[in-house]
Amino acid sequence: MTHIVTHSAPAPVPISPQELMPWTVFVGLLLLMTLYFVGAEQGATALIQGDAVHEFVHDGRHLLGFPCH
């Protein structure tokens, strides 16, 4: 004989804004850092000397529409 067993899903636990804020700040800083390296590094505000960063993000610059030539 077949028995049908159903399990109820546990209730979701709400996330408070205080728990979410550090992750939001962390992801925001990562995005700003990425935008800087793709868009502005190796220009007048270069933090790292040489062409390594420029060559690493070169295709990403063109994909996002940043001029680099």
Give the pLDDT confidence score for residue 23 in this predicted structure.
95
Q: Tell me, what's the pLDDT at 45?
A: 67
Per-residue CA distances from 57 to 8, 11, 28, 50, 66 (Å): 49, 44, 20, 13, 11
Identify whether 10 is part of a domain: no
User: What pLDDT is attached to residue 31?
Assistant: 93
Residue 64 lies in a domain: yes
Total domains in the fold of the chain: 1
Give the separation between CA 68 and CA 43, rounded to whole angstroms.
Answer: 9
Distance of CA 69 to the CA centre of its chain: 26
Residue 48's domain comprises 28-69
Instruction: State the 10-residue block means of pLDDT for the chain, 69 residues long.
Output: 81 92 96 82 69 76 76
Q: pTM for this one? A: 0.59
